[in-house]
Structure 1
Amino acid sequence: MSTLTSRATGPTSPARPDRPDRPDRPARTPADRESAPAARRRTTSRALLSKGVVNAVLIVAALYTLMPVSWLLFAATKNSRDLFGTSGFAFGDFNLFANLRHVLTFNDGIYLRWFGNSMLYSVVGSAASSLLCVATGYAFDKYDFKGKEKLFGIVLGGVLVPATVIQLPMYLLATKAGVVNTYWALLLPAMVNPFGVYLARVFSEGYVPAEVLEAARVDGAGELRTFAGIALPMLAPGFMTIFLFSFTASWNNFFGALVMLNDEKLYPVNLGLFMWNSVTQQQPEYYALVITGSLVAVVPLIIAFVCLQRFWRSGLTAGAVK
């Protein structure tokens, strides 16, 4: 009976600890168990090294970008003697407020006139240009008309043309129109922004659903009311993004003002500072005026980007996620 039972059930043997549970999988050696943590450490060290390199590059780029502005801040605290007699990145006798008062009151406050002109050219011109670009991009996106894509291709071709190349033809056109040496000489060219039209069409494709416009038309809204009351609020991030680009370009528009304007009272702030800087060799006291005036001229750009950066960020990421 015991023989039959043993034959039926088969011989049993105790489990061998050195035998793997799965014969097709080789057993891990002590060397393998030691190499796994080492591999993880190597991966972690590579990740930390790459992050460290990226952060170091970004820090160097930030310092390089902020260096001119920081030099202006240091130099604006010095008088004419300390400006050339001390280190560039050292504070002077903290004459900042005296220098500011001198800039704002020099020559009957001509700097304030230049600053106001720059605000007019940049704010009014950029707002009108942004609104025109948004309306044009919206029309290119939502309406079908003959030759639409060919016309849009011509608009994109305008992006490839540098502004300095067309400055002479624009001057000749402004002469024919009789707007040379007037505010319109800079305001009218600022409204033409081919890149803004391209951005506005991209924003319109991503932000304005066609179903919403169709529902507004069914409710009896006209095309102008549909654009102003429904599409334009949806395109607010795109409008602010185009406005920031236009504002920066208008504020830094030096060559256009140099060609179009002759009257000192119509100068923007960058052209006025250039005129002051051109006489510093004969009159060194103008150095303090140029440096302090340049520091003040940077402030509007900083304020614009700080206050509107949330619209700018949302605008730059438009279309990244569908």
Structure 2
Amino acid sequence: MATALRPARPTAGTPRRTGRGYSVDRPRRSPLLTVLTGIVLIYSLVPLVWLFVNSTKTQESLFNSFGLWFSGEFALWDNIATTLTYDGGVFVRWLGNTLLYVVVGAGGATLLAILGGYALAKFTFPGKRAVFAVVIGAVAVPGTALAVPTFLMFSQMGITNTPWSVIIPSLISPFGLYLMWTFAAEAIPTELMEAARVDGASEWRTFWQISLPLLAPGIVTVLLFTMVATWNNYFLPLIMLRDPDWYPLTLGLNAWNAQAATAGGEAIFHLVITASLLTILPLIAAFLLLQRYWQSGLAAGSVKE
């Protein structure tokens, strides 16, 4: 008796075909996509290259040379030393202020997002839908729209021109709360929490010993977003702070850059550029060190089992 020939089923070690001889291990190459990726890469790196190259120039050679190539003596180390000591070392104080705002503000925002997102994802309570609507609405409202009302409220409380006027608004991150909410809903199995409760673990112990390790990728993702937002915050400190001793780096560098336009002011554009280079180095280091956690956090929930 003749039997119909059936195609052999792929084994576990056989690469899955996607058509025209391509597989998951050998994806199809797209020259157009490669060119577009290269353009985006160049667009992203050119400002960094310009910043580094011009940080190596003196004030005189800064305006007498091509911006994307070196010229004259290599003055990077002298520029860094002058930046750190200029005007009594005020740059170091601005850096310390920025670190304070990031550690307390961004760290507090991440902690609140973890607690709120976990509670919203894993507990049921009256008004949960209303809370969801409020969070989504808060995500859609830009922070600059709330800066002036916040200033008026803080001025009545007497805390303007203090670090608290920058730290307290930074503690609220609607996007971080929403991101942590969606991540916790997918990353923590409800069965695992029920098993811990059956074994007699309290809700606090279940959170710290079981749920929190599973939330690590999402925590790093929220921390990166809040850290970058606080580090680059400009408008809120601009309207809240008058004392230069409490300026973050964003306001301080803008004040240095504006010196040339004031009567009797000293042009220190080479120090502004060097200080800008020093300002972005901590952010680059944070992204490089936490990149793998950040990528896994963004991909959470994208694959359904």
Bin for the TM-score computed over the shorter chain:
0.7 to 0.9
Q: Show the counterpart of 1:144.
A: 124
Shift, 1:123, TM fit: 2.7
Number of residue pairs matched by the alignment: 277
Q: Distance in 2 between matches of 1:162 and 1:303?
A: 27
Q: Show the counterpart of 2:279.
A: 297
Q: Distance in 1 between matches of 2:59 and 2:173?
A: 42
Q: Distance in 2 between matches of 1:70 and 1:280?
A: 25
Q: Show the counterpart of 2:238.
A: 258
Q: Distance in 2 between matches of 1:118 and 1:182?
A: 13
Q: Show the counterpart of 1:316.
A: 298
Q: Distance in 2 between matches of 1:274 and 1:53?
A: 40
Q: Secondary structure at the match of 1:166?
A: helix
Is contact 2:117-2:178 (8 Å) kept? yes
Pick one of 55, 59, 64 that aligns with 1:80: 59
Question: In angstroms, what is the RMSD of aligned CA positions?
Answer: 1.6
Give TM-score scaled by structure 1 length.
0.83
1:222 equivalent in alignment to 2:202: yes
Shift, 1:177, TM fit: 2.5
Q: Distance in 2 between matches of 1:121 and 1:134?
A: 19
Structure 2 residue identity aligned to 1:85? N
5 Å-filtered alignment, 1:46-195, equals 51-92=30-71, 93-195=73-175
Q: Show the counterpart of 1:17.
A: none
Larger radius of gyration: 1
Is contact 2:154-2:165 (8 Å) kept? yes
CA offset digits 1:95-119 (Å, max 9, x no partner): 0000000000001100001011111
Structure 1 segments (4+ residues) deviating >4 Å: none
Structure 2 residue identity aligned to 1:313? Q
Shift, 1:81, TM fit: 0.8
Give TM-score scaled by structure 2 length.
0.87
Shift, 1:237, TM fit: 0.5
CA offset digits 1:112-141 (Å, max 9, x no partner): 010111111123321211111011011111
Shift, 1:284, TM fit: 5.4
**Structure 1 residues not aligned, in runs of 5+:** 1-39, 41-46
Is contact 2:259-2:267 (8 Å) kept? no
5 Å-filtered alignment, 1:268-307, equals 268-282=248-262, 283=265, 285-307=267-289
**Structure 2 residues not aligned, in runs of 5+:** 1-19, 21-26
